[in-house]
Structure 1
Amino acid sequence: MAKKDYYQILGVSKSAQEREIKKAYKKLAMKYHPDRNQGDKTAEDKFKEIKEAYEILIDEEKRSAYDQYGHAAFEHGQSSNTYTSFTSSSDFSDIFGDVFGDIFGGNRTQRNKKGADLCYNMEIFLEEAVKGAKKEIKIPALQKCTVCYGSGAKSGTKPRSCSLCHGKGQIHTRKGFFTVQQSCPTCHGRGSVIINPCNICRGTGRVETYKTLSVKIPAGVDTNDRIRLNNEGEPGINGAQSGDLYVQITVKKHAIFEREANNLYCEVPINFAMAALGGEIEVPTLDGKVKLKIPYETQSGKLFRIRGKGVKSVQNRHQGDLLCRVVVETPVNLNDEQKHLLYELGKSFHGFRGENNSPRSKRFFDGVKRFFDDLTK
């Protein structure tokens, strides 16, 4: 009986890349694997067929020969034909990757494992965020033991190679058709055991301590920005590289200013006389006071922009603006003379709906009147 085309078996085109071939193989292998179809001879034969096709097409030289001569290239005893159980860790890891590793518990433990990354939450003032600062932080940390230099073994001794896994850190266990690898239960994947542990770190290679670090806060940072300090995280296992420390920034609420992107906002109260007649006031910035001209007939809520007095972006160094929102304040604690003057001023407006002096009031109350007139029609 003529053999099926290997490309058809895997369901890929003749121009398929290595990644497509691997992906197709993993999908079919999961479907027809004997462990998932126990007692199904058809599925087992199908799996053999898939594996044979994969082993030819994934090998560059064999694939080239197959493309040129077809199945004849592997006759005369040179075929990879038969189904074989997986006995090498490279077969298991490369062919099935994480898929069967998750099912059977296989993993690739590292004897020298890099330390974990750590995070430190830092609160700073708005002025520090805008102008930059240098801060010192004191953090708890696990540091490499200075007595055993991270080996975990007592001074003058060394860890011994694990007798169970012979220093490999992994053992192979038979599971049905498979021989899978997993962490050695004796050395926990390290490949070595400590007979005489260090008196200081008790064999862990790390000790608890505190360390003080200097952190440079760049100008323009904002809440949720992070600053990375390389190799200042948790130390690695067995003398491996340390992780990184991330400083998470939170900017405290300011009494005067609010920040939005690179702009600053503030509210500036003015009395109604200045709002009506205009004038000049001083407004605060993070660099000191500046003068702001208020034009006559300014309404409450008017926004004035002072360019270049905001925050300089930490990314593109663009300088934001300061936006001042004026709030017309109602006078309080008036004496008799002031009350009389206001009374006379109010009379001159011919009521609160005066057309000339209160155009917004007139428009509002005219609109209210039309609304109720429409309801009564």
Structure 2
Amino acid sequence: MRSGHKDYYAILGVSRDATPEEIKQAYRRLVKEWHPDLHPENRQAAEERFKEIQEAYEVLSDPQKRRQYDLYGTAEPTLTAPSWATADPFADLFQMVDEFFGVREPHRRRTTRTERGEDVEVVLTLTLEEAFQGGEKELTVEIWDTCPDCAGTGVLGGYRRCLECHGSGRIAYTRQMQGVFFRSITTCPTCQGTGEVPGQVCAECRGVGRVPTQRKVKLQVPPGVEDGTVFRLPGQGNAGKAGGPAGDLYVTVQITPHPIFRREGVHLHIDLPLTFPQLALGDVVTVPTLDGHAEVTVPPGTQPGTVLKVPRKGFISMKSGRRGDLFVHVQVTVPTELTEEQRKLLRQLAKTMGVNPKGAEPSWWERIKEHFRKA
């Protein structure tokens, strides 16, 4: 279809004195609106409309083509037959013979191989508290997205008829040997037999059809998520090639170590340092939890290494919704500095227990001070 049969300004919805920037903005808006993938119920009509938009932009975005279009109503140069065609006096005769015997050399339609976009893998780092609570998290992902200028085609203005083969996709050569004419038909090297060539390579993506970009992605993390959990977000990966479907985004959860708690499945573990009197006499102590605190009863005579359980103070199970337990590991703390009164009381306790540690005997200097106090 010749360009003189169409009003390119009307197709893009701009005035005849529109600036290049206005034309570009109108083109970007229309290719997004009429991309065939967005109209699966009426794809054929969308493709025709999409080609019209690309054709109009190819002409109006090129100053020379636009000037010719404004003057003559067409942007196509006058086509002349190639040298091989004019030099072949038997071309029409061969064509008539081909048609008589039903021989055809139809050119192949230009086909673009669509490819699915690559999958993208990212890591979401969470604290233990964030994993416990869950909630919505936002990630910034580096991906390849569809080029906004060419809508993923890699070219501007679509494809035009190949001037080398006049759109037939083939080139015929005729030569004479010993009075006999021989005709050979080969695939057009310019268009590779498709009969079409790209109008203009997109400068934004350099013909790739995709551009690197950053995308904000929101992920709903369930409470109690485990370390190493992988979430799949369909269609959030790299954009497909030549209109192919996008890949998927895989998000792997990584939980940072906690300074106090240790996690094992849905259960939590914590160390609780206690003094000897607390272990011997018993006590009620307060321990931290991920959502507040809890009281733990230490029975009299509790030994170091004893594990006390606090029910339903662990993690929430993603499968059952039940909550795990908190396990308190009892440890004994030994003071490194004692007052004189504390030493005295410990010596008395040692004697009552029938224990006489060497460190319990008073030093020579302590005996001297005790002697002068009694004098």
TM range (shorter): 0.5 to 0.7
Shift of 1:222: 1.6
SS of residue in 1 equivalent to 2:271: strand
Distance in 1 separating the partners of 2:195 and 2:126: 46
Report the equivalent of 1:291: 295
Distance in 2 separating the partners of 1:129 and 1:159: 56
Taking a change above 3 Å as real, the CA distance of residues 351 and 238 of structure 1, as seen in their structure-2 partners, is same
Report the equivalent of 1:215: 219
Gaps of 5+ in 1: 1-108, 168-184, 354-377
Shift of 1:159: 7.9
Report the equivalent of 1:158: 159
The letter for the 2-side match of 1:323 is F
TM-score scaled by structure 1?
0.55
The letter for the 2-side match of 1:148 is C
The letter for the 2-side match of 1:210 is Q
Shift of 1:299: 0.3
2:251 maps to which of 244, 247, 259: 247
For residues 144-197 of structure 1, give each alpha carbon's deviation from its aligned partner in whole angstroms, at most 9, with x where no partner exists.
Answer: 01121111111x223889x9xx99xxxxxxxxxxxxxxxxx9999x99864521
Give 4+ residue runs of structure 1 displaced > 6 Å after superposition. 185-188, 190-193
Taking a change above 3 Å as real, the CA distance of residues 346 and 203 of structure 1, as seen in their structure-2 partners, is same
Does residue 206 in structure 1 map to residue 210 in structure 2? yes
Report the equivalent of 1:144: 146
The letter for the 1-side match of 2:159 is K
Report the equivalent of 2:115: 113
Count of residue correspondences: 223
Task: Judge conservation of contact 1:160–1:195 (CA < 8 Å) in 2.
Answer: no
SS of residue in 2 equivalent to 1:212: strand
The letter for the 2-side match of 1:255 is P
Alpha-carbon RMSD: 2.9
The letter for the 1-side match of 2:318 is V
Distance in 1 separating the partners of 2:141 and 2:195: 32
1:196 maps to which of 196, 200, 205: 200
The letter for the 2-side match of 1:306 is V
Distance in 2 separating the partners of 1:138 and 1:221: 20
Gaps of 5+ in 2: 1-110, 170-188, 358-375
Task: Judge conservation of contact 1:136–1:213 (CA < 8 Å) in 2.
Answer: yes
1:310 maps to which of 305, 308, 314: 314
Distance in 2 separating the partners of 1:237 and 1:192: 20
SS of residue in 1 equivalent to 2:268: strand
Does residue 323 in structure 1 map to residue 323 in structure 2? no
1:37-56 mapped onto 2 (5 Å cutoff): none
For residues 265-286 of structure 1, give each alpha carbon's deviation from its aligned partner in whole angstroms, at most 9, with x where no partner exists.
Answer: 0001111101000010001111
For residues 89-120 of structure 1, give each alpha carbon's deviation from its aligned partner in whole angstroms, at most 9, with x where no partner exists.
Answer: xxxxxxxxxxxxxxxxxxxx991111111101
TM-score scaled by structure 2?
0.55
SS of residue in 2 equivalent to 1:116: coil
Whose Rg is larger? 2
For residues 69-102 of structure 1, give each alpha carbon's deviation from its aligned partner in whole angstroms, at most 9, with x where no partner exists.
Answer: xxxxxxxxxxxxxxxxxxxxxxxxxxxxxxxxxx
Task: Judge conservation of contact 1:229–1:246 (CA < 8 Å) in 2.
Answer: yes
Shift of 1:329: 1.0
Shift of 1:216: 1.8
Report the equivalent of 1:301: 305
Task: Judge conservation of contact 2:138–2:219 (CA < 8 Å) in 1.
Answer: yes
Taking a change above 3 Å as real, the CA distance of residues 192 and 287 of structure 1, as seen in their structure-2 partners, is farther
Task: Judge conservation of contact 1:153–1:159 (CA < 8 Å) in 2.
Answer: no
> What's the % identity of the aligned pairs?
36
Distance in 2 separating the partners of 1:191 and 1:335: 100
